[in-house]
């Protein structure tokens, strides 16, 4: 039986995908296909190359990420994400979709023509980084003469590549928003409005998945709040454990 999983984008909240995959691994649920965008693309690539999810969390907590990011001087963004290439190369030395242990498909947005692109073959790391280029924060990445930005701009929950390939599809979303009484300021309004749009799309795609894993209220965490990485991981881990009986029932 083939089990696919789709990993949403969400900045630092993407650490939740590590907790989800760790719980599935601990319960011996084998994932046969992975799709992801942005943070989900990064986590998906590492897991597809058999890097343990908790090890990724440990490395994230002790790694000074600023060493791998550089100001994007004279470029239309704050930071240049391409300098993080060496960090991913450490865990995916072959830099190839074809050499991954689990088939992986990731999304990116073609900045030139505004169309969504699915990557699933050839060079891997630059495409993963392109999928993660949040507009205005990270500079677009050039691939084969075209500029690419965050895949979540068009499709933050790329379940489509799993259709007709998997018997069971699990969705991991890290953008759940709690009900609120009033806004807390302009920044809060803008962030919440953006996530409401993403979650609306998720609702439409839920008809294609069998099990949705979505830690409650995680969408209120800022996409750059690195101090909450450990909490996010275990929140998602526990949420996934609560879904194991449902998954096992489908498998049987």
Partners of residue 104 on adjacent β-strands: 34
Element (H, E) at 125: helix 125-131
Determine whether 150 is an active site residue: yes
- Is residue 108 within 8 Å of residue 131, measured between CB atoms? yes
* Active-site residue identified among 131, 150, 172, 173: 150
* Active-site residue identified among 8, 38, 131, 172: 38
- Is residue 95 within 8 Å of residue 124, measured between CB atoms? yes
Q: Which tokens is 245 given?
A: 């009986």
Please tell me the number of Cα atoms within 13 Å of 18 on its side-chain side.
26
Determine whether 96 is an active site residue: no
Question: What is d(CA 127, CA 125) in angstroms, rounded to the nearest whole number?
Answer: 5
SS3 for 194-250 is HHHHHHHHHHHHHHHCCEEECCCCHHHCCCCCHHHHHHHHHHHHHHHHHHHHHHHHH
Nearest C-alpha neighbor of 224 from the set 69, 76, 87, 104: 69
List the catalytic residues. Answer: 38, 150
């Amino acid at each position: 039986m083939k089990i696919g999983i789709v990993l949403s984008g969400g900045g630092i909240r993407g650490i939740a995908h590590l907790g989800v995959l760790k719980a599935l691994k601990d319960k011996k649920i084998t994932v046969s296909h992975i799709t992801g965008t942005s943070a989900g693309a990064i986590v998906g690539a590492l897991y597809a190359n058999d890097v343990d999810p908790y090890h990724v969390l440990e490395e994230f907590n002790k790694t000074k990420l600023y060493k791998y990011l550089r100001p994007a001087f004279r470029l239309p963004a704050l930071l240049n994400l391409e300098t993080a290439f060496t960090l991913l190369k450490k865990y995916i030395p072959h830099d190839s979709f074809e050499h991954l242990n689990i088939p992986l498909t990731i999304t990116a947005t073609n900045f030139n023509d505004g169309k969504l692109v699915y990557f699933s073959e050839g060079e891997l790391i630059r495409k993963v980084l392109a999928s993660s280029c949040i507009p205005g924060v990270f500079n677009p990445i050039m691939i084969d003469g075209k500029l690419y930005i965050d895949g979540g701009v068009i499709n933050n929950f790329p379940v489509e590549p799993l259709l007709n390939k998997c018997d069971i599809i699990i969705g991991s979303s890290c953008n759940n928003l709690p009900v609120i009484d009033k806004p807390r300021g302009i920044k809060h309004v803008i962030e919440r409005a953006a996530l409401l749009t993403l979650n609306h799309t998720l609702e439409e795609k839920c008809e294609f998945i069998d099990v949705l894993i979505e830690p409650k209220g995680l969408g209120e965490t800022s996409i750059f709040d690195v101090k909450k990485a450990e909490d996010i991981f275990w929140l998602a881990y526990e949420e996934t454990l609560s879904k194991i009986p449902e998954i096992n029932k489908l498998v049987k």
